[in-house]
């Protein structure tokens, strides 16, 4: 017996706890240059491709360096992304390292949330 497809397509939204909404909005729209996300005429966070990062205040969650689940953002070149983040004054949590066929690193947002980023490793 075959089960019907769930038709799962992609991650629509990821909620991030923030303690200072204005500071977090400046970080994501200014430092990371992501475009604002608006729902029902109200700002809710930022767009990362087709995914919305929801910036949540007065929420059960608190900013954390130990997220569960872990959020990993794909980038064209993780080493270039790390350099660009450093140039913007962003705190790097884990410098880029090779894990098999991937390059993986992490950074902290303005609120202390740890976000990971990765790319293919390319030739050795």
> In the structure encoding, which two tokens stand for residue 120, read together?
């293919």
**Measured on CA atoms in the order 37, 41, 43, 44, is the torsion positive or negative?**
negative
Question: How much is the pLDDT for 124?
Answer: 54
Entry pTM: 0.84
Q: Which domains does the chain have, with CATH numbers?
A: 13-120 (3.10.180.10)
Residue 67: partners with Cβ closer than 8 Å, 6 or more residues away: 113, 114
The pLDDT value recorded for residue 115 is 93
How many other C-beta atoms lie within 10 A of the C-beta of residue 53? 24
Task: Output the tens digit of pLDDT for each of the chain's 124 residues.
Answer: 788 886 878 889 999 999 999 999 999 999 999 999 998 899 999 999 999 999 999 888 899 999 888 889 999 999 999 999 999 999 999 999 998 889 999 999 999 999 999 998 876 5
Question: Angle at Cα 71 formed by Cα 115 and Cα 73, nearest 5°?
Answer: 75
């Amino acid at each position: 017996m075959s089960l019907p497809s769930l038709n799962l397509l992609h991650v629509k939204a990821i909620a991030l706890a923030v303690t200072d909404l204005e500071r977090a909005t400046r970080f994501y729209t200014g430092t990371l240059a992501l475009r604002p996300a608006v729902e029902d005429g109200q700002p809710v966070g930022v767009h990362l491709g087709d995914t919305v990062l929801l910036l949540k205040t007065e929420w059960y969650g608190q900013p954390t360096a130990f997220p569960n689940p872990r959020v990993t953002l794909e980038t064209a070149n993780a080493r270039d992304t790390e350099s660009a983040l450093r140039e913007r004054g962003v705190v790097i949590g884990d410098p880029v390292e090779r894990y098999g066929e991937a390059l993986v690193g992490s950074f902290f947002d303005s609120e202390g949330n740890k976000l990971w980023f990765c790319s293919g490793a390319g030739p050795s």
